[in-house]
Amino acid sequence: MVCLGFHFHDQGEMEQIKERFVKLLLGEDMSGGGKGVSSTLALSNAFPNLAAAVFGEQKRLEPMLPKRKARWRKEIDWLLSVTDYVVVMVPTQQKSKDGSSMEIYLKL
């Protein structure tokens, strides 16, 4: 199965990754109520968590097993793919025809 450009072994794995993808984009707020953290903060927290999960299992400094290495590469690629969908907005001022000014946000 292919989803978001990645190959998955089964439907369960694909659903798990899709859920994690949405959590990162929504800043871990699945309710949509704006109570989560920013997407960039959620993503920046995900990298050390992945490193701790993968490298925390290592008992000593040695080459990684192929299965663990494949997991690392797949998850890093997946986390980096989220950055393609993060939108950065910056505030700016816009003047209307009547001369009034309002703050709007533009995409970078």
Residue pLDDT, tens place only, 47-59: 888 888 877 777 7
Q: Tokens for 107?
A: 């995409």
Radius of gyration of the chain (CA): 19
Tell me whether strands 2-3 and 6-7 are parallel, antiparallel or unpaired: antiparallel
Do the beta carbons of residue 74 and residue 50 sit within 8 Å? no
What pLDDT, on a 0 to 100 scale, did the predictor assign at position 21? Answer: 75
- Does residue 31 carry a pLDDT above 60? no
Minimal CA–CA distance to 86: which of 108, 54, 62?
108
The answer, as to whether pTM is greater than 0.85, is: no
